[in-house]
Structure 1
Amino acid sequence: MKVNVEDISSVKKKLLIEIPKEDVIKETDKFFNKLRKTVNLKGFRTGKIPRSVLESRFRKEAASEIGAELVNISYSQAVEENNLVPLGVPEFDYPEVVSGQDYKYTTTIEVKPSVSIKDYTGLKLKKSVYKVTDDKIEEKLRKLQKNLAQMRTIDEERPVTNGDFVQIDYEGFKDDKPFPPAGKSENYVGEIGSGTLLKEMSDELVGMTRGETKTFPVKFSDDYVPKALAGHEVFFTVTLKEIKNQILPDINDDFAKDLGEFSNLEELKSAIREEMERNYDNFSEKQLYEQVIDNLIAKTDFDLPEVLVNHEVNQMAEHAENSFGSQGISLKDMGYTHDDFLSKYRPAAERKVRGLLTLGKIIEQEGFVINDEILNKGFEILSKRLGQPLESIKMVYKQDKERAAGFEENFLEEHAVAYIIANSAVEEVEAGGDEKDKADDMK
C-alpha cells in the first residue's frame, strides 16, 4: 500500500491511498465467496451459484461493499504508519472498485496542531476583590421581601398612577395582523415605572381605568434586542383588568422563619452573607482564570482544527437555544436563525479551543497527571463553586464514567492554571463598580 500525505494546512491533511490490485482481487474473492454461501437465486442451489452470475446480479452492491471494506482496512493502517491522530470523522472521496486494477482513494482529515508555548509563568496578574457590604445584604433582603409579597386588588375606581401594579391583557400587531415577536399575554402583572413593562406601554397605562382598552404604537430602535423587533413599528392593544398594590411583609424573625430554613433574622443575614461571599469568590477566581487564558493565547500562534471549533460552537449555541427555550423564547422570536447563533458564538468557541489546546501542551510539558491530590482539590473547588456537598460530587465521579473522564480533564486544566498563578505575581485590587455589577448579575 502506498500513502501520500499532502499538507493543506498545519492541521488539515489530504491522504492519497493506493491499494495494490492483488489486495483488491483478494477482497473481491472474499466478498463473492461469502455472498455465494448466503444468497438464494431461483434456478440455483445455495452455494452453487456461478461467480459470473453473482457478479452480474450484484455488481453495484459488490462495488460499494468491497470499496468500503478496502477503505476500512487501509485507512487505519495509513494514519498509523504516518503517525497521524485524526480528529472527528474523516471525509472520504473514493471511486467504485474495478476488478484487476489498483484501488486509489483520497481522504481529508484534521489533526491537533503543534503548539509551542514558553514563558507561561511569571505573569503579572490582577485579582479583583469583592466585599459584601451591609447595603448588599439589605438589597437581597428587599428582593426576598418582594418574593413573599402579596398582591391586593384596589377596589376604588381610579386611574393608574406611577408605582401601581397592573393586571393586563395585551397583544402586538403589525399591518393589522398579530406580530408574534411583540408577544401576547393574558393577565400579565407588571409594575408601572419599574422597567417590568415597555416604557411606552407603562406611559400609556398611566391614567387608564379598569376595563379600558387602548391601542398605541411603539417604534423600536434599529439596534433593539430582541432583533426580531428592531426597526419595527408595532401597535399594541392593551386592556386594563385590575389595579393592584403590593403588601410587603415586615423583615423580622417571622419573615426569616417563613423562608423555611432559619430561626431568626440574624441567621438569614448570615446565610445571605455566606452565599454572596461564595459567589464573589467564584466570580473572582473565574476572572483570574480567564486572565491567565488571555495571557497564554497572546503567547501562541497556531491553526485551529475546524472540527474542534465547530463542536464547541455547536455546544455553545445549543446551550443558549435551550436556555431561551426554557423561558418560552424561540430563536425566531428573537430574530435569529441557528446559523446566526453559530456566527455569534464562533469567536468565543475559537478562543476556548485555543486556550484548551495551549493548556493541554502545558500539562504535557509539566508532566501533570491525575492523582489523588489533584482529584481531591478538584472536588473541593467544584463543591464550593456549585454549593453542593463534597460527598455528592464524589458520588457522581464514582458512578458515571463518562462524567468522571470530564472531571479529570477539567481538574488537570485547573491544576495547570493554578500552577501558573502560583508562579506568577498576583496583585489584589478592589473591584470597580462595573465589575461589581457583572458579579451581581452572575449570581
Structure 2
Amino acid sequence: MKASWEKTEKNRGVLTVETDEQTVAKALDQAFKKVVKKVNVPGFRKGKVPRAIFERYYGVESLYQDALDILLPEAYEAAVKETGIEPVDRPEIDIEQLEKGKSLIFKATVTVKPEVTLGEYKGLEVPEKDFSVSAEDVDAELKKMQKQQGQLESVEDGAVQQGDRVIIDFEGFTDGKPFEGGKAEKYTLEVGSGTFIPGFEDQLIGMTPGQEKDVEVTFPEEYHAEELAGKPAVFKVKLHEIKRLNLPELDDEFAQDVSEFDTLDELKADIEKKLQEKANKEKESYVRNQLVEMAADNAEVDIPEVMVDHEVEHMLRQFEQQLAYQGLNLDLYAQFTGQDVDALKDQFKADAEKKVRANLVLEAIAKAENVEVTEEEIEQEIKQMAEQMNREPGEVRRLLEAQGALESVKEQLLVKKTIDLLVLSSKNAA
C-alpha cells in the first residue's frame, strides 16, 4: 500500500491511498462469497453459482460496493498510521480507480488536529482571590441547618408573608379568555421562590385564608409559549391555606440535636472548619483552571469548527443525562424554559471552544515537557476507583477495558500531571 498526505488548508488536506491488485482481488472474492448467497441464477442452487457465471449475469461491477466496504476502513486506517496524521472528523472519500485486475486508488479529504504554537506557560501568576471564610458564611450555613430542622405549621389567623407555603386555586386569562396550562387547584407554592411569573408571588403577600383576588401580571417577552410572550394576563386566585416554617432556637440544644457537639460554639467551629476545607479545594481548582486558561490564551491555535461541534454534542449528551436524573428530557426542558436544542447548542458553543482549545494546548505542553503516564500510575488510579466503587481493582480494570475506557483514564491522568507541572512552575507555588 502507498499513502501520501498533502495539506491544502490550515487543518485540511488530501490523503491519497493506493492498494495493490492482490488486495483488491481478495476483497472482490470476499464480496462474491457474501453476495452469491442472495442471488438466483437459473440452473443453480442459491449460493452455488460459479464466479464466472455470476459475473456474466450481473457484471463484476455489482461486487464493487461490497468490496469497497471491505477495503476502505482497513486501507484508510493504515494510511492514517503511515502518514502520521490525526483526523478529527470523518473523511470525504473520492474513488479514483476500482477495477478488476487493478489497484484501488482513492483520495480522502481529511480535517486534522491543528498545530499548536505554545506561548508562555511557565512562571505564570494567577491573580489573588479571597477564599477566606467569614462569620457571615458560618451564620448562613447555620441558618440552612436551622431551616432544615424547621416544622411547617398552618397559620390559622394571619396573612401571607414572604417565605410562606400557600395552597391556592388559580386560573389565568388573557384578553378575557382562559389559556391552556393556566389553571390548577390546591397548588402548593412557596412565596418568594420565583417559581411563577414575575410579580405573581409578590401580590399574594397580605392575603388571608378564604380570600379571592385578581393578580395582574405580564408574561416575559422570552416566555416559552409564543402565544403568551409579552402579553398581560389576569389570574383569579383563591387562597386556601397558609403554612409557615417554625424554626428552632439556635442554642446548645439545637447543636446537640443536629450534631455530635454539646454546644453551639463547637458546632460553629466545626462548620467553619468544613467551610474552610471546601474553600481550600475551591482555591486549588481556581488556580489550576486559571493557569490552564492563561496558558491557552498565550498559545496560537486555529481550531477546526468540527472539533467545537463535536464538543458541543458531547456537552449536550451530558446535559441530557443530568435532566434524566431529574426525571426530565430535552422536550420538557424546552417547554419550561423556552430553550430548544439549537438554543442550547448556541449556549454551549463558547465553553466548548474554550475546552477544546485548553485540551489542545495541554496536549502540546505534555509533548514539549515529555510528560508521560506510567503503568503504575494507571494501576494506582484504578485502585482508587475500585475503593470508591467498593470493587476489586481487577474487576474495575476489566470493566474499563470492556467499555474501551482505559485510554480515557490514561488521558485524564496525563492532563492532571500536565496541570500539576503548570502549578509547580507558577509564581503561585512559591
1:49-72 C-alpha deviation (Å, 9 max, x unpaired): 233542335878623211212213
Cα offset, 1:185, TM superposition: 7.7
Correspondence 1:196-211 to 2 at 5 A: 199-211=198-210
Q: Which amino acid is 2:86 matched to? A: V
Relative distance call for 1:60 and 1:127 in structure 2 (3 A) is: farther
- Aligned mate of 1:363, from 366, 370, 393: 366
Q: Which amino acid is 1:14 matched to? A: V
Q: Which amino acid is 1:63 matched to? A: Y
The 1-side partners of 2:380 and 2:43 are apart by 74
- With 21-30 and 308-317 compared, the bigger mean Cα shift is at 21-30
Q: Are 2:417 and 1:415 equivalent residues in the alignment?
A: yes
Query: Is residue 224–residue 334 contact of structure 2 (8 Å, CA) maintained in 1?
Result: no
- Aligned mate of 2:396, from 397, 400, 416: 400
The 2-side partners of 1:104 and 1:2 are apart by 9
The 2-side partners of 1:292 and 1:227 are apart by 44
Q: Secondary structure at the match of 1:358?
A: helix
Q: 2:189 corresponds to which residue?
A: 189
Q: 1:289 corresponds to which residue?
A: 288
Correspondence 1:297-312 to 2 at 5 A: 297-312=296-311
1:150-203 C-alpha deviation (Å, 9 max, x unpaired): 1111223x55455654222446565645455x8968532313x57566551133
Q: Which amino acid is 1:76 matched to? A: E
Q: Are 2:132 and 1:131 equivalent residues in the alignment?
A: yes
Q: 1:424 corresponds to which residue?
A: 426
Cα offset, 1:112, TM superposition: 2.2
- With 14-23 and 270-279 compared, the bigger mean Cα shift is at 14-23
Q: Are 2:32 and 1:32 equivalent residues in the alignment?
A: yes
Q: 2:84 corresponds to which residue?
A: 83
Query: Is residue 169–residue 186 contact of structure 2 (8 Å, CA) maintained in 1?
Result: yes
The 2-side partners of 1:275 and 1:378 are apart by 26
The 1-side partners of 2:389 and 2:163 are apart by 46
Q: Secondary structure at the match of 1:86?
A: coil
Correspondence 1:4-403 to 2 at 5 A: 5-19=5-19, 23-32=23-32, 43-45=43-45, 48-55=48-55, 56=57, 62-94=63-95, 98-99=99-100, 103-156=104-157, 159-160=159-160, 164-170=164-170, 176=177, 178=179, 186-191=186-191, 199-222=198-221, 231-259=230-258, 264-324=263-323, 326=326, 328=328, 330-371=333-374, 391-392=387-388, 399-401=395-397, 402=400
- With 30-39 and 212-221 compared, the bigger mean Cα shift is at 30-39
Q: Which amino acid is 1:318 matched to? A: R
The 1-side partners of 2:222 and 2:209 are apart by 35
The 2-side partners of 1:27 and 1:373 are apart by 43
Cα offset, 1:345, TM superposition: 0.9
1:247-270 C-alpha deviation (Å, 9 max, x unpaired): 111223443344366565445333
The 2-side partners of 1:230 and 1:321 are apart by 26
How many residue pairs get aligned? The number is 418
Query: Is residue 173–residue 179 contact of structure 1 (8 Å, CA) maintained in 2?
Result: no
Q: Which amino acid is 1:417 matched to? A: I
1:343-382 C-alpha deviation (Å, 9 max, x unpaired): 1111111111111111111112222223599779989xxx
- With 390-399 and 349-358 compared, the bigger mean Cα shift is at 390-399
Cα offset, 1:121, TM superposition: 1.0
Q: Which amino acid is 1:145 matched to? A: Q
Relative distance call for 1:222 and 1:264 in structure 2 (3 A) is: same
Q: Secondary structure at the match of 1:348?
A: helix
Relative distance call for 1:395 and 1:40 in structure 2 (3 A) is: same
Relative distance call for 1:392 and 1:80 in structure 2 (3 A) is: closer
1:258-291 C-alpha deviation (Å, 9 max, x unpaired): 4366565445333322331122122222221222
The 2-side partners of 1:393 and 1:37 are apart by 49
The 1-side partners of 2:114 and 2:392 are apart by 33
- With 279-288 and 31-40 compared, the bigger mean Cα shift is at 31-40
- With 55-64 and 314-323 compared, the bigger mean Cα shift is at 55-64
Unaligned 5+ segments in structure 2 are none
Relative distance call for 1:9 and 1:95 in structure 2 (3 A) is: closer
The 2-side partners of 1:201 and 1:289 are apart by 44
Cα offset, 1:136, TM superposition: 1.5
Cα offset, 1:145, TM superposition: 1.0
Query: Is residue 167–residue 190 contact of structure 1 (8 Å, CA) maintained in 2?
Result: no
The 1-side partners of 2:10 and 2:422 are apart by 28
- With 19-28 and 287-296 compared, the bigger mean Cα shift is at 19-28
The 2-side partners of 1:377 and 1:131 are apart by 33
Q: Which amino acid is 1:409 matched to? A: E
Q: Which amino acid is 2:298 matched to? A: K
Q: 1:438 corresponds to which residue?
A: none
What is the RMSD computed on CA atoms of the aligned residues?
4.1
Q: Which amino acid is 2:68 matched to? A: G
Cα offset, 1:34, TM superposition: 6.4
Relative distance call for 1:413 and 1:41 in structure 2 (3 A) is: same
The 2-side partners of 1:206 and 1:264 are apart by 37
- With 319-328 and 392-401 compared, the bigger mean Cα shift is at 392-401
The 2-side partners of 1:375 and 1:74 are apart by 32
